[in-house]
Structure 1
Amino acid sequence: MACQGSIQLITALSALTCREKEQQGTNVEYDNYLVIYDLRTPENQSNTFANFIKKMAEEVCTWQKIVYIQPEQMQALQAKLNLVRLNLSNIQQVFSLVHKLTGISSADEIYLSKNYDIWDRLLLNVYESAKKICYGDSIGLYLSASSTVLQVEPRSLNYKLKRLLKSFISTKNSIDEINFDVGYFTISNFNTLSASPPMKVVTVNKAVTLNIFQRLRGVVGKVVDSDYINNLHTKLVNNSVSILLTSNFSEATRMSEENEISAYQNFLKIHKREDNTILIIKPHPRDSAVKIEKLQYSLNRLFSEVIVISELSWFFLPFELFLMEVFLDRNLVPHCDIKIFAFSSACLSLKFLFNLPCIIGFGSEIIHQSFYDEQVNKRIQHELELNYLLQQI
């Protein structure tokens, strides 16, 4: 199972649960291996993020081995691939390095969220004989390479190298594009404004995913101070609460940091609530801590209090877990008045799993004011797709 984030882990586990149920009554037994890679966090946060994914994985599944391919190891893979491009090495040496990094020489099944990223394509080629299973993006939504409902990636040197590698791969056929055999999607019966899944599709009952979230509440008790949660509950009593789910726009060079902070500020002014409203900022795992500190300061005048979920444990756990632990009872019913502002596909799971409405930001005017010119149309299309999907759920 290949995983690039905490919510992807839950989605992949949902697919695996369905696969295992299909095998009941047979002699098939699973030996599970988890490969964590390409987390795209600020460099000093990647090991912590990987450790939290590992803790989550261990809470709900038994693993033969959990491996984190670290950034410097990814760079070594890039260097090997570059040698292949220059005809100074062969692709089998790259495959051997992947075997060494993962500790897995062969696999019967491989689970990935997509097949068009360079690293996903590499894994599919390395384990070509395995049954290839797609679990989708976000909470289990199929997205083609042309869809805008994708997590933004940094336009860094690393990103440019990937573009270069994709170019030589497609011309030299060093790494073939390989299709999935089957897709397991929670949100499978909705139009995605994207190409239809080019594979057999199995719908994952949302009860399967909710069950995994419920089981992961055990992780919360292990990594979050109970006093922290109790203090939050006390502060939120008898208050309206707004929740801001930030994204990594400036880190991904979609706009400047200054513009991103102003964009959130202007957006929240439009949607201002009662004077006693408390704002909770839930940072994206790939957000800069410095940016979030500046954002908190800039929003202090708009709310009675601004609380940043700065506990390192909450920073990397999926927002859905935070929501369940702080705002929902055991029957998943909210016990206070909350309004959620989201800027990515994170909004889809909140509506689908908990029937909680989200307001998608930023809107056309703020987009034109804040995003770099070449990003404006992409962002507008992205928000159109998100709103379209929310209407269908």
Structure 2
Amino acid sequence: MRRLIDCPGSAQLVAAIAALRSQGLQADRYCFSGWAPRDRFAAFSAEVARMATQLQPGLTGSAIAPERFTSWLGRSLSALEQQQLRQEIGLETVDELWLATGWRPKEQLLRQLYPTARCLCYGDGLGVYVAADSVLQQRRGWRSRLRSWWSPATKPLPADGGHFIFSGDRQPPFPSQPVPLSDLEDCLHTLANALPTQAIASLRQLTAQREWGVLLTANLSEQADGAYISLTAEIEAYRQFLADQSLPSALLLKPHPRDSATKLQQLTTAIADLGVEPLVLQDSQLAFWPIEVILLSLLPDLQGLPVFTVSSAAVPLQALGADVQLGFGAAIVRRQFTRKGQRLRRHEEQQLQRWLQVGNGASNPRL
């Protein structure tokens, strides 16, 4: 039984391995294609390879830049091209494809390459079920991309099943099973013990003797060339959101791999203007590791850790015990987002709040 994990990022790799563990299974290969600045893709793939061998000793995979997949979408690959791509992935045949969502264009391309394989979904991020028509995907442009890349004759095929740590607020249109939170925690602790020691030592020194929390941002002004919110407005939205909170004396900031130097500089200035010390996680290796792994390397657990976020990262962090504050809130959205952005962000935050209220289902009674 050959199993291939489609791996769009490091968090998804963790979720996939946790889902496989819950069934007593292992993967044969993974295919990594995470987005990163072009000059950092090799570094990103190297860190993912390191994580893979820690989570499942001996697990190897391929790294294919996402823009290469993009170039293949929207046209039919010849038999020779399909064979070459299968060779690059490292598996001529596959019995099970483990995919994050099952409906994204790259995942559908993999299903074309392996048409007889069963499709099993493990969720986006750290195992959150996300439907194809989720409002979260509207801002990210998946709906329009699906329409432009796939004709009605090649519309996304339904998945055969799913294994999710976090069920979201909707029932998948296919059979699904819950993944115990303990399987995710085991994976996170395994990786926390494998982080680069010098980088973690430096981070411990940075946070020592400080009352600190965490700020997790999202790619907002970068989406649709600022059609939803401008960079200046995004920074102001973070400032206003944080100004309404009871803040610790320092905030650990893990930049998104696609954050620009300009955005990071403006954000740290805004944090400092609030009288809070910004602690920027700048190590090039740690940038690609899930924030949950980094935090568990600094603390015995995340109980009560103040976390301020505007993304779906809120869901697993709350499940792990963090004190999560989700932004931005309706008033800030009205003031800072464009008219189009207001509608999408309002619905996005409502969906995230529902996810937090639902928690992660009966299999994980902590919530």
- Give the stretch that moved more between structures: 314-323 or 287-296: 287-296
| Residue type at the aligned position of 1:186 | I
Please name the residue that 1:109 is paired with: 96
Change in Cα spacing, 1:63 to 1:375, as seen in structure 2 (3 Å) is: farther
Alignment of 1:6 with 2:10, yes or no, is: yes
The structural deviation recorded for 1:74 is 2.5
The structural deviation recorded for 1:71 is 4.0
Q: How many residues align?
A: 352
Contact 2:241 2:332 in 1 (8 A): yes
Contact 1:244 1:341 in 2 (8 A): yes
Please name the residue that 2:257 is paired with: 285
Contact 1:8 1:113 in 2 (8 A): yes
| Residue type at the aligned position of 2:6 | A
Contact 2:305 2:322 in 1 (8 A): no
State percent identity of aligned pairs.
Answer: 26
Alignment of 1:271-310 (within 5 A): 271-273=245-247, 277-310=249-282
Alignment of 1:169 with 2:143, yes or no, is: no
Contact 1:12 1:111 in 2 (8 A): yes
Contact 2:69 2:106 in 1 (8 A): no
Please name the residue that 2:68 is paired with: 73
SS at match of 1:219: coil
The structural deviation recorded for 1:98 is 2.5
Deviating runs (4+, > 6 A) in structure 1? Answer: none
Contact 1:148 1:381 in 2 (8 A): yes
Please name the residue that 2:188 is paired with: 213
Change in Cα spacing, 1:314 to 1:268, as seen in structure 2 (3 Å) is: same
Whole-Å separation in 1 of the counterparts to 2:189 and 2:103: 32
Alignment of 1:351-370 (within 5 A): 351-352=318-319, 354-370=320-336
Please name the residue that 1:56 is paired with: 51
The structural deviation recorded for 1:76 is 4.1
Please name the residue that 2:236 is paired with: 262
The structural deviation recorded for 1:226 is 4.3
The structural deviation recorded for 1:293 is 2.0
What is the TM-score normalised by the length of structure 2? 0.87
Contact 1:137 1:143 in 2 (8 A): yes
Change in Cα spacing, 1:76 to 1:386, as seen in structure 2 (3 Å) is: closer
Q: How far does the alpha carbon of each residue in 1:221-245 deviate from its partner, in whole angstroms, 9 at most, with x for none?
A: x364343033124242xx3x23210
Whole-Å separation in 1 of the counterparts to 2:244 and 2:273: 14
Partner of residue 18 from structure 1, selected from 13, 19, 22: 22
Please name the residue that 2:41 is paired with: 46
Whole-Å separation in 2 of the counterparts to 1:210 and 1:35: 23
Contact 1:59 1:218 in 2 (8 A): no
Whole-Å separation in 1 of the counterparts to 2:80 and 2:70: 15
Please name the residue that 2:172 is paired with: 197
Contact 1:341 1:358 in 2 (8 A): yes
The structural deviation recorded for 1:219 is 2.3
Contact 2:53 2:59 in 1 (8 A): no
Please name the residue that 1:183 is paired with: 162
The structural deviation recorded for 1:201 is 1.1
Alignment of 1:70-149 (within 5 A): 70-78=65-73, 81-82=74-75, 84=76, 92-149=79-136
Alignment of 1:245 with 2:212, yes or no, is: no
Whole-Å separation in 2 of the counterparts to 1:76 and 1:388: 36
Please name the residue that 1:342 is paired with: 309
| Residue type at the aligned position of 1:219 | A
Contact 1:34 1:67 in 2 (8 A): yes
| CA RMSD, 1 decimal | 2.5
5+ residue gaps in structure 1? 22-29, 85-89
Change in Cα spacing, 1:33 to 1:388, as seen in structure 2 (3 Å) is: same
| Residue type at the aligned position of 1:167 | S
Whole-Å separation in 1 of the counterparts to 2:179 and 2:71: 37
Contact 1:251 1:288 in 2 (8 A): no
Structure with max Cα Rg: 1
Change in Cα spacing, 1:226 to 1:141, as seen in structure 2 (3 Å) is: closer
SS at match of 2:193: helix
